[in-house]
Structure 1
Amino acid sequence: MQNIIHIPKPAYPWPTVYSPISETFYKEENTWYDTDYGFMSPESIKRYKKQRLVQVGAFMSPTTSDRDIFRPIGRFAVYVTTFDDYVELMPLEELKVFRDRIFEVMTGEDPQPEEKGILRQMAAARKEFMDNGMPQFWIDRIATNFHRFITYGIMEETPFKFNKTDPSLARYLMIRAYSIGMVTYGDLIEPATGFALPVDIYNHPVIQRLVMLLATIIAIQNDYASIRKEMTIESERFNIIFILQNEQNVSFEEACIEGLRIHDEFVKEMESLSICLPDFSPYQKEVENYVYHMKLMVTGCNAWYYEGGTQRYFPDGFAVTPDGQNPILLDFEVKHISRE
């Protein structure tokens, strides 16, 4: 009988709302893979079809019941995740070229037929967002934040993975907030609610801090949900549990406890800011609704990990790694448990 390591689940003071359409987009999702993801290996496509990535979009935008409004949100949930997997160990010069082309497509250019199909998904989402009333300044913002996701997230992680070194905790928190993709994913609150925050409101320091808290909380949340998978990947360095073990020279169990303590402090800060927002008149109600949906993103993503039925975090369920490395076999089992 294998030993069992118990991993506590993050918990939140906010409600979890469930989408009425979370089980209805799998056929379309599979069509997207078959049509536009042929640049990936057949085995990766097979595994992605079991990961229910479009479902996470529904879990994180649970108040969106209109399929036309949700469709580009679902596309985004799929392509931000598959892109992250695909470029994980891509040489930086090659990634810079890809990054800049993505920005061009996300802000208005159409991809050429010979280009990677993921660009067609990005172009389709852009047009659908605009058809649903999203203004150009918001299109430019989500593209800029996707550019930052690559530049300040993925590209900052890559040297640590190539060199097999660990960042400090402070550096990890800065990089991981971007590399989780949630700074740009948080922009999906606005098409889901039908209101794009004016530029001056989005750029307000309180809103910007909430954006970074959203990203950081979900980054740590993801570290706990994916820990079993990441234990099997030699190049994986960016998990707060691993970082704390190495930096503080503590046991795995102690690192788990400390990581959740750090996570809970960020949750408290997000709640404290949310109940004491500045005066954003005449858009106070819209901003309050935006912040409410930030909280729904946090609880929705957490629910997806444990209730959505995804196979992404099982050894035979995540995509084939870019360098083709085989997963490390574990002689123990990992079980996630609710916190008392």
Structure 2
Amino acid sequence: MSATTTNADLLIPICRFLLYETYFDDYVEIMPLEEVATLRDRAFEVMTGDSARPDEIGMFRQMEIARKEWIANGMPQFWIERMAKGFWEFITYGIMEETHFKLTQTYPTLARYLLIRSHSIGQLAYGNMIDPALGSALPEHIHKHPAIQRVLFLHSIIIGIQNDFASIRKEMATENENFNIILLLHHTHHLSLEDALIKAMAIHDDFVAELEDISQCLPDFGPYQKEAENYVYHAKLMITGLNEWYYSSGTKRYAPEGFATPKYGVQGEKPLDFEVKHIRQD
């Protein structure tokens, strides 16, 4: 997902971020929300300047190390704060809002699902890794522009839907893992699983088309035009890179034993009686 990064000193903290973000997501599975909020707030403190205590779980030490590595390699404080805020929002608007639906085994509307999923997949937070991958931070006024924010939403929800395809077999065999667009369409739109797959892919393709349209007609960012264009290019490159990892790397992440064990119990198993075929459109 950082395919053009050749500086190992920058790639190492990017990898740390991916690892502790993934670990956090699995670790807090069905955890009481007040406990999640405590971990979330502590993560923000460590990511913005605090030192991890010896008695704290290891991901906080990794956050501290990554922060120091980024600063040592020239990443500015405004980006450190942006990155930490993105992680806080990943937990608050993603993980914590998913929890109700996982615990009650219910589904939101499709529109609400897309809002939550764009955060809970963690890609809005991980998208901040584009900056260190390129060796500099996109200025705040450009990063906040609606066109760039829409690009980031689209690249996040596209990856979220990709993830739903990659993990559907595993999630159907796991309790409390119903937050998947295919299952949502199957249950709330009363579609067969095969038709739900087709509709989910159509939604995905519409988002891809919108992302391409925006990327072909970006605003005038003046002296930062090349930087903005390169930023958007790398947001798109992350989508391609992750999709290749899902289907070409041999990862065991989405095998039944692939998740880290959550603090509050191991999920049970449910039978899976259909085959998922990934529809790839070049």
TM-score with structure 1 length normalisation? 0.80
Give the Cα separation in 1 of the matches to 2:107 and 2:31: 19
Give the Cα separation in 2 of the matches to 1:271 and 1:339: 14
Letter in 2 for 1:156: E
| Residue 261 (structure 2) aligns with | 320
Q: Among residues 101, 106, 110, which one is paired with 1:160 in the alignment?
A: 101
1:80 aligned to 2:21?
yes
Per-residue deviation at 1:76?
A: 0.7
Letter in 1 for 2:79: W
Q: Which runs of 5+ in 1 are unaligned?
A: 1-59
Give the Cα separation in 2 of the matches to 1:89 and 1:77: 21
Per-residue deviation at 1:333?
A: 5.0
Per-residue deviation at 1:331?
A: 4.7
Task: Tell me the number of residue pairs that the alignment of Structure 1 and Structure 2 aligns.
Answer: 281
Give the Cα separation in 2 of the matches to 1:279 and 1:332: 49
Per-residue Cα deviation, 1:129-165 (whole angstroms, up to 9, x for no partner): 1111100000000000100000000010111111111
Letter in 2 for 1:326: G
Q: Which runs of 5+ in 2 are unaligned?
A: none
Alignment of 1:285-304 (within 5 A): 285-304=226-245
Structure 1 moving runs of 4+ over 6 Å: none
Aligned CA-pair RMSD = 1.4
| Residue 51 (structure 2) aligns with | 110
Per-residue deviation at 1:247?
A: 1.8
- SS of the residue corresponding to residue 234 of structure 1 reads coil
| Residue 227 (structure 1) aligns with | 168
Give the Cα separation in 1 of the matches to 2:206 and 2:273: 33
Give the Cα separation in 2 of the matches to 1:241 and 1:110: 42
Contact residue 217 and residue 267 of structure 1 kept, 8 A? yes
Per-residue deviation at 1:338?
A: 3.9
Q: Among residues 133, 137, 150, which one is paired with 1:209 in the alignment?
A: 150
Per-residue deviation at 1:281?
A: 1.0
Give the Cα separation in 1 of the matches to 2:106 and 2:74: 45
Contact residue 195 and residue 286 of structure 1 kept, 8 A? no
Q: Higher RCO, 1 or 2 (CA under 8 Å, sep at least 6)?
A: 1
1:127 aligned to 2:93?
no
Q: Which has the higher helix share?
A: 2
Per-residue Cα deviation, 1:272-309 (whole angstroms, up to 9, x for no partner): 00010001011100110000101100000000001112
Q: Among residues 247, 250, 253, which one is paired with 1:309 in the alignment?
A: 250
Alignment of 1:277-292 (within 5 A): 277-292=218-233
Letter in 2 for 1:164: Q
Identity of aligned residues (%): 59
Alignment of 1:1-340 (within 5 A): 60-321=1-262, 322-331=264-273, 333-336=275-278, 338-339=280-281
Give the Cα separation in 1 of the matches to 2:106 and 2:196: 18
- SS of the residue corresponding to residue 122 of structure 1 reads helix
Give the Cα separation in 1 of the matches to 2:94 and 2:17: 17
Per-residue Cα deviation, 1:72-115 (whole angstroms, up to 9, x for no partner): 01101111001100012110011111111100000011111111
Give the Cα separation in 2 of the matches to 1:110 and 1:320: 26
Per-residue deviation at 1:339?
A: 4.8
Letter in 2 for 1:137: F
Contact residue 311 and residue 318 of structure 1 kept, 8 A? no
Contact residue 62 and residue 300 of structure 1 kept, 8 A? yes
